[in-house]
Amino acid sequence: MHSHLLSAVQAGALALPNRVVMAPLTRSRAGQPGDVPTALNAEYYAQRASAGLIVSEATQISSQGQGYAWTPGIYNDAQEAGWKQVTDAVHARGGRIAAQLWHVGRISHPLVQADGATPVAPSAIVAEGANAFVVKPDGTPGNVPTAMPRALETDEIAGIVADYAKAAQRADRAGFDMVELHAANGYLLQQFLSTNSNTRTDRYGGALENRARITLDVVDALIDVLGAGRVGVRLSPHFAGHGIADAEPEDSALYLAREFSRRGIAYLHIAEPDWAGGPKLGDAFRRALREAFEGVLIFCGGYTADRAETLIASGMADAVAFGRPFIANPDLVERFRVGAALNKPDASTFYGGAERGYTDYPMLQG
């Protein structure tokens, strides 16, 4: 049963024992103050160590890169030490884990920025309909509309690329097996890619090659730190949230896929727009991605084990990532293996809180 999904695969420098990937899942439970991973986070990830690969929750590379309260960072010594607790716990259970590196760009607000700074973006265009999650001045948490960002100066962009490289160095020291560059879901790198959020006239705007430049600059910086075999990238073509309305989503994804393949990165992770209202990905586009990218190709978006098995068996994917099923089923791989029923996730506990809805979901009885 599910023989393809449960078979081993080589992803760059990493041998994965199965093709069930744990998708990055923001859970808003970093220790406070300081957005530092804790022993509770270590327990949560260790419970899920049977995944072929765990991709960590999105982790900001700098205080400027933060858009939500209580999400972890990886830009100072305390955060690095916190993540070391997590990777040690995952490795003790025989698992593998990648750090997802994140800069939110304009999906932020001065209330979650250091010293009340204005968020940054490719262009000074507000993300219509988007929210940041903040702690308000009276101490209550909640969503607020994202702020009007300021456009990055051309000479600031190299500093952001350097922040990604420093985060990769910290991820390496913290024991992560790989890093995943978050270039999806309407955050900074997709803001540069998208035709409606990037109106720049410098070398980072205009033609597709220019709009994609910062993503490739960051990938090159990560490769310099870790080697191509320890780098993956997440893209979300057709993503329609956070004010993104790209006129060239498939062209962008295929151009980047070819460039990533030329660089020899470990994997390309495609987030399908199931929750953001975009069109479903067609098989023709999947085949084009398969042709463009020679590494491990991962799709994520509301899959069941049966649908994942079919997609991998077809040759259009090498692995499939699961999000909500991993929230409620720490032993998801074993449940797939034996055909067991899945626990249902409690959406009220997705964001924030402590053990409830985080580390207390039942496992199969051995």
Residue with tokens 């093709």: 19
SS3 at position 106? coil
Name the strand (E) or helix (H) holding 86: helix 77-92
Report the C-alpha gap between 55 and 51 in whole angstroms. Answer: 10
SS3 at position 57? strand
Can you spell out the DSSP letters for 225-278? HH-GGGEEEEE-TT---TT---S-HHHHHHHHHHHHHHHT-SEEEEE-STTTTP
Q: In this structure, are residues 296 and 317 in contact, taking their beta carbons and an 8 Å threshold?
A: no
Out of 187, 303, 358, 361, pick the active-site residue.
187
Known catalytic residue at 75: no
Residue with tokens 């899942």: 25
The residues, ordered by sequence, that sit 6+ positions from 292 with a Cβ below 8 Å of its Cβ are 254, 257, 258, 261
Report the C-alpha gap between 185 and 275 in whole angstroms. Answer: 10
Cα-Cα end-to-end distance for the chain: 20
Please count the other Cβ atoms lying within 10 Å of the Cβ belonging to residue 302. 12
| Nearest residue to 246 (alpha-carbon basis) of 191, 189, 301, 182 | 191
CA Rg, the chain, in Å? 19
- Could you tell me whether strands 14-16 and 9-11 are parallel, antiparallel, or unpaired per DSSP bridges? antiparallel
Q: In this structure, are residues 298 and 318 in contact, taking their beta carbons and an 8 Å threshold?
A: yes
Report the C-alpha gap between 272 and 297 in whole angstroms. Answer: 13
Q: Which residues are designated catalytic?
A: 187
